[in-house]
Amino acid sequence: MNPEKPPAELGVPPLEIHDLTVAYRNKPVLWGVDLVAPAGQLIGIVGPNGAGKSTLIKACMGLLPCASGWVNAFGKPLSQSLGRVGYVPQRESVDWDFPVSVMDVVLMGRYGKIGLFKRPGAEDRRIARECLEQVQMLPFADRQISNLSGGQQQRVFLARALAQESDLYFMDEPFTGVDAATEAAIIALLQGLRSRGKTILVVHHDLPTARTYFDWLLLLNMRVVAFGPTDQVFTSELLQKTYGGRLTVLSEVAEAVGAKAR
Amino acid sequence: MTLIPEFQAQRVFVEPWTTELGSHGLMALVTFLVGATCGLIGNFLILRRMALVGDAISHSVLPGIAVAFLITGSRGVGAMVLGAVVAAWVTHGLIEVISRHSRLKQDAAIGIAFSTLFALGVVLIAVFADKVDLDQDCVLNGELPMIPLEPAVRWGGWVLGPPPVLRLGVILMASIALVAAFYKELMLSSFDPGLARCLGVRVGMIHHGLMFWLSLTVVASFEAVGAILVIALLILPGATASLLTDRMWPRLVWSTVHAALSAVSGMHLAVALDCSPAGATVVAGAGWFVMAWLFSPTEGMIPRRWRRRSAAIDSRPRSSEFGQNA
């Protein structure tokens, strides 16, 4: 949206996580996560159920307390760089019967830039309309959100994230419960963002597509198993290490790795 | 002797607006002010699935003001508000502690917290009955019929009305101003607390602010109209409005309309049946809720059933509806 704006300062990583440990009721779910995310990459976070993928994102956004460690965005603690960080929660995390229109939801993405006591202005509406256009949801702007299909809801969330005009995005399972057309539209959009220098971290649970969608992969199973460019990390050895001995997943992995070899 | 007093149209429908305007009309005005204020907050409580928290706080206000009275010895508004706000905090804390440190879920925790605190208040008042100028009947049903007897406040040459009316009027105005000022933060933190926090909205502050305002409203209202009416008016206007429209601003307007209809019809009902105006207002409000439930054009049971039947007859595919469902 703002091509002239420099996406990230040279040398300062968009996201740096150091020794992050998160616990639910004294039970650790994430152990000593250490990573520096490269700028301008589409990064997939994959791992088995309960690996702590969503937890990692929520902890990064400051939505969960960290038992130890810290998270920096653009060289500053997250609380000081909130204006540059966008968040797409899981679609099921909100009440879709809420009495707002599609437009209202997208405008919520602008609230961080509007300030107290003010209402969204003409400029905010213009940006929101543009974002809706990008996800092909403009014709639905005045609809109440409960009248949308799952894929449409996800697009609205995406438009809201676009309206935030951030440089670093966290997305929690944006492909869950959406149809193939929406999935393709979303991935094209994310690639567009990436090519404008934005850094995007996406929680994803489908291994075969993970390999084609993402530039970098974070293999996670309570700890970081591997983090690097997809072609270096997407190996059967590392994936087995991530998923343990689960047969169904392993065959899926073998298939996916085999497809890569061909 | 008949159970229901004989119906006299003149007495029930005309006199409250003419000769009895100063008493019955004023009572309707008070219940409207309470209903409009509580309805405004109630809309947000319903959105945040906190309707029962309002219920709990309305109950726990009783021990709060009893203790405040015992400590300060005054029935001043300041002491009562303070006591109620502290009690609201205690209730809220209790609910959190019980639901977090036991197997019980939030609904059970709410049930335990508010019934215990309410009982505590009843016991306190009974034990210190000679020292506390409060009685349980007044707490439940309020002093609605007494309000017109209070000396009116005068300002310059103007007669402004009895103190409760002024107080409730001020609170209603302040509530409208607060909702207008924090509308977007209230909406965002209710819809998606995660995103709200990421955008720098102080979600905790909004929550505690709402709780504080709720306590204040409950205290100011319940002194005038009693706990039953406050609890009902925290839920009924918002619930009715939510059946009539799926947008927030219209909901706020409809809940105010519901408060007005309930106040007026409740007053007429109370006159007709010669019963407690608070109880009659709740019954009337519930009646309007049922009307909305049955006949609301969008959500009503009857229009929906009727639509389903006509849809079954006319089952042609509506291509325009589904064309873009990609």
A67: left (phi over 0), alpha (psi -120 to 50) or beta: alpha
Sheet of A68-73, strand order: A27-37, A15-24, A68-73, A76-77
In chain B, the residue whose alpha carbon lies closest to the alpha carbon of A57 is B194
**Residue B237: per-residue pLDDT:** 96
d(C-alpha B23, C-alpha B26), whole Å: 5
Of A104-108, A177-181, B288-292, least confident by mean pLDDT is A177-181
Q: Of B85, B24, B1, B72, nearest to B281 (Cα)?
A: B24
Contact A144 B247 (CB under 8 A): yes
Residue A9 maps to a domain: no
Is the pLDDT at A232 greater than 60? The verdict is yes
Q: Where are the beta strands (DSSP E) in A47-124?
A: 68-73, 76-77, 85-88
Contact B251 A99 (CB under 8 A): yes
**Residue B10: per-residue pLDDT:** 79
B248 touches chain A (CB under 8 A): yes
CB of B40 closer than 8 Å to CB of B256: yes
Q: How far is B191 from chain A (nearest CA, A)?
A: 6
A5-22 pLDDT, tens digit per residue, is 444 455 788 999 999 999
**Residue B190: per-residue pLDDT:** 94
Pick from A91, A104, A124, A203 the residue to mutate for testing the B interface (most B CBs within 10 Å). A104
Q: Write the CATH number for A165.
A: 3.40.50.300
In chain A, the residue whose alpha carbon lies closest to the alpha carbon of B250 is A99
Ordered by start, the domain boundaries in chain B are 9-313
Is the pLDDT at B86 greater than 80? The verdict is yes
Contacts with A179 from chain B: Cβ below 8 Å = 326
d(C-alpha A152, C-alpha B274), whole Å: 55
CA-angle at B129, arms to B123 and B132, nearest 5°: 105
Helix, strand, coil % over all residues of chain B, rounded to 5:
80, 0, 20
Q: How confident is the model at residue B324 (pLDDT cuts 50, 70, 90)?
A: very low
Question: What is the average pLDDT value for chain B, to the nearest integer?
Answer: 84
The whole-model pTM stands at 0.84
Q: How confident is the model at residue B35 (pLDDT cuts 50, 70, 90)?
A: very high
Indicate the CATH number for domain B9-313: 1.10.3470.10
**Residue A260: per-residue pLDDT:** 55
Of A27-41, A241-255, B86-100, least confident by mean pLDDT is A241-255
Q: How far is A165 from chain B (nearest CA, A)?
A: 12
d(C-alpha A106, C-alpha A108), whole Å: 5
Q: How far is A251 from chain B (nearest CA, A)?
A: 31
DSSP H/E element including A34:
strand A27-37
Give the ipTM of the model, two decimals please.
Answer: 0.84
Q: How far is A112 from chain B (nearest CA, A)?
A: 5
Q: Which two tokens stand for residue A55?
A: 């937890």
Domain span including residue A91 = 15-261
Residue A5 maps to a domain: no
B154-179 pLDDT, tens digit per residue, is 777 777 778 888 889 999 999 999 99
d(C-alpha B53, C-alpha B72), whole Å: 27
d(C-alpha B322, C-alpha A147), whole Å: 11
B320 touches chain A (CB under 8 A): no
Task: Give chain A's length.
Answer: 262
Contacts with A136 from chain B: Cβ below 8 Å = 324, 326
Question: How large is the C-alpha radius of gyration of chain A?
Answer: 18
Q: Of B18, B5, B40, B8, nearest to B260 (Cα)?
A: B40
Is the pLDDT at B252 greater than 80? The verdict is yes
Q: How confident is the model at residue B138 (pLDDT cuts 50, 70, 90)?
A: low
Of B19-23, B48-52, B208-212, least confident by mean pLDDT is B19-23
- Residue B286 phi/psi, 5-degree rounding, is -65, -35
Residue A1 maps to a domain: no
Q: Which residues of A touch B (CB under 8 A)?
A: 58, 61-63, 82-83, 85-87, 89, 93-95, 97-101, 104-105, 108-109, 111-112, 114, 116-117, 119-120, 136, 139-140, 144, 146, 149, 151-152, 160, 164, 179, 181-182
Per the structure, the count of domains in chain A is 1
d(C-alpha A188, C-alpha A184), whole Å: 6
Q: Which two tokens stand for residue B317?
A: 């595919």
Q: Of B43, B3, B5, B54, nearest to B229 (Cα)?
A: B54
Cβ-proximal residues to B211 (8 Å cutoff; 6+ apart), any chain: B53, B57, B88, B89, B92
A161-171 pLDDT, tens digit per residue, is 999 999 999 99
Is the pLDDT at A82 greater than 60? The verdict is yes
**Residue A5: per-residue pLDDT:** 46
**Residue A133: per-residue pLDDT:** 94
d(C-alpha B317, C-alpha B52), whole Å: 43
Contacts with B200 from chain A: Cβ below 8 Å = 82-83, 112
CB of A227 closer than 8 Å to CB of A217: yes
Q: Which of residues 14-73 of B touch A (CB under 8 A)?
A: 47
Is the pLDDT at A259 greater than 70? The verdict is no
CB of B27 closer than 8 Å to CB of B147: yes
Contact A89 B195 (CB under 8 A): yes
Q: How confident is the model at residue A199 (pLDDT cuts 50, 70, 90)?
A: very high
Contacts with A85 from chain B: Cβ below 8 Å = 198
- Residue A191 phi/psi, 5-degree rounding, is -65, -35
A91-116 pLDDT, tens digit per residue, is 888 999 999 999 999 999 998 888 88
Q: How far is B262 from chain A (nearest CA, A)?
A: 24
According to DSSP, residue A44 is labeled E
B103 touches chain A (CB under 8 A): no
Nearest to B198 among A61, A117, A139 (CB): A61
